[in-house]
Chains A and B, each alone.
Chain A
């Protein structure tokens, strides 16, 4: 029976976390951690306090949904902590980063934190993290980005890759939802030419486009989660996770572009949350592979593994091998 509602437990956990993050300052946690990176420990403590690190998302459906909702609520404040990477960690690791299969430079937010790191790529390959620089990039768009080196393992972990990718999608969903809420409020309050910005049709249309992009993203995020629960070997789930990522990158462009535009100059200032959320979104949007590469990979996987649909005829056996080679080449 089709239902697009998450379990009450998952929704309940989200409410508790949202309340605690609000009390802890919301986006101020991000502002504080950029100034003093060691304050990321506050985020870890809050998440630990609600039992986030005891969840086992790959073996329990309710815990999987709870992990997704925790990621979303963390995203709403751009929480400075590797939430998706820790909640989705591979067995034997404490946090699992996403890496590119084609780029030799590996970099991810918070990889400096002293955790037992491993890595996976979008093709499902597993990696050992063999060395970490421990230094932060410290730029405006990558305040917590840190380099590391990896060594590919023989095993593949497509289900873990699907989980980390999907939880990152939920994190970005939360961030974009908050950005739209703030923008909708600002366009209602800010007046020009004697009326609210939202009264101008071009602004109203822009807000509608942002809302539609987010509504669709939320449903795809739920679908990707369900796919992880249902798909034991993880190949289908990984394709669905990549499709979520493609939709998330598209939505991020629509929503954050609109958020910047309709906030005017105010939207660039450190005073306004949207300015911080836009910056915090960057490491997810650009790493380990950007929009074009992710789209190309998705197209190849759709041919190789199919794409669940009611009237599906995507995969033809004759082509599967050829597409496989393209997928491997990336």
Chain B
């Protein structure tokens, strides 16, 4: 029978997380990647707090630093974090997909070396996927891995790589087969970033710091022990990464919190808003619930081990479109404050401006909405 009530366990977890955030994060915090470097330090410190409480990688087995929490608790964690501007900073990637993929495909040595630092909040990973000539068409990637004694030499370039300048490790895709092998000649490498053959360069953008970077490999080194899965067998891993990644961010949670705050912020002024705007706000709020329920459909499928790509794509299309719809409604609600302000006491207005900028990337990052729609249409009988 249908049930949308949360268990006490999940409700308690939300309360606990809320308390930790209140104690450690300033209300004016807008995420780790602002112009203020102190925000990055805040995120790194908060990750260690979560790690100490075994709350960072909750759903992982205890041996890897988790506490075997349920998918629903993990979902609540995601929601609470994203709603409060992701105080984990770049760590969510390690938790959401690097760790789970290592558990599925890693050797016992790889799991032992890489999982505990992620669970403790001590390491940041970046994702070396996109290249100048391989965006949506990822199988066109050209970064080359050449076998040498004891390991591999990497040469090539990656682009749009979030957190590359702060990451200690890169989850890298490189070509090991001939160029025309496309999906069949790609291998996953776990590459240490701190080495002479790796260079990073920031790409300045409207999104904020650290979101976009270039990565250059000039005879960078990966030992055999850091090849993940089979040589030339990386594409099946890529598909799993993408599936985890696309449902990993609870964008609807921040939308919901900001829409709710908009109503409360305006107080009596709410009635003075144009009726059309109040109607758009209501519609956006409804669409937020719709996206949340689609996310729960994905989670339930994960629990039952039967998540299909179409279900994930449908959710992804709904939630990324929602992000942009809500951004537009909120910009209209804050009016002239929509251009932003250095006044830190205007927490809500600053959050709206930040949300709008970041939401522009939601239908591009982790696979464009066009690719999602293609996938969904192809899956129809």
Contacts and interface: CB of A to CB of B under 8 A. Distances in A.
A2 B318 contact: no
A27 interface: no
B289 interface: yes
Contact of B318 (A212, A229, A318): A212
B192 interface: no
Nearest to B304: A5
Interface in A307-329: 307, 309-316, 318-319, 322-323
A208 interface: yes
Given A5-B2, A296-B275, A318-B267, A211 B257 contact: no
A2 B3 contact: yes
A312 B287 CA distance: 14
A307 B264 CA distance: 13
Interface of A: 1-7, 61-62, 65, 181, 184-185, 188, 198, 201, 203-205, 207-209, 211-212, 215-217, 219-220, 222-223, 225-226, 229-230, 243, 246-247, 292, 295-296, 298-299, 302-303, 307, 309-316, 318-319, 322-323
Interface residues of B, number: 59
Contact of B263 (A1, A204, A220, A303): A303
B5 A205 contact: no
A208 B376 contact: yes
B231 interface: no
A211 B253 contact: no
A319 B269 CA distance: 9
A204 B3 CA distance: 34
Interface string B341-381: 00000000000000000000000000000101110111011
Contact of A295 (B256, B279, B289): B279
Nearest to A227: B4
A5 B1 CA distance: 6
Contacts of B299: 2
A1 B260 contact: no
A219 B297 contact: yes
A295 to B, nearest CB: 5
B317 interface: yes
A316 to B, nearest CB: 6
24 contacts: A2-B300, A3-B1, A7-B1, A61-B1, A65-B2, A203-B377, A208-B313, A208-B317, A209-B373, A215-B294, A216-B291, A216-B318, A220-B290, A222-B2, A226-B2, A226-B4, A243-B286, A299-B278, A299-B281, A299-B282, A310-B83, A313-B261, A316-B264, A319-B271
B1 A65 contact: yes
Q: Which 7 A-B pairs have the closest CB atoms?
A: A299-B282, A219-B293, A204-B377, A208-B373, A311-B257, A313-B260, A216-B290
Interface string B237-267: 0000000000000000100110111011001
B288 interface: yes
Nearest to B1: A7
Nearest to A198: B377
A314 B373 contact: no
A1 B3 contact: yes
B270 interface: yes
B112 interface: no
B300 A3 contact: yes
Nearest to A206: B377
B282 A302 contact: yes
Contact of B293 (A65, A220, A307): A220
Nearest to A180: B380
A181 B313 CA distance: 18
Interface in B294-329: 294, 296-297, 299-300, 310-311, 313-315, 317-318
A226 B313 CA distance: 26
Nearest to A185: B381
Contact of B4 (A2, A181, A243, A299): A2
A230 B2 CA distance: 11
B253 A310 contact: yes
Given A2-B5, A309-B288, A207 B380 contact: yes
Contacts of B300: 2-5
Contacts of B4: 2, 4, 223, 226
Given A212-B317, A217-B290, A226-B2, 18 more contacts: A3-B3, A3-B300, A203-B377, A204-B378, A205-B377, A208-B313, A212-B376, A215-B294, A215-B311, A229-B2, A292-B279, A295-B282, A299-B281, A311-B256, A314-B260, A314-B263, A316-B264, A319-B270
B261, B281, B377 — most chain A CB neighbours (10 Å): B377
B267, B286, B296 — most chain A CB neighbours (10 Å): B286
A310 B267 contact: no
Given A4-B2, A319-B268, A204 B293 contact: no
B285 interface: yes
Nearest to A6: B2
A215 B312 CA distance: 11
Contact of A2 (B79, B257, B296, B317): B296
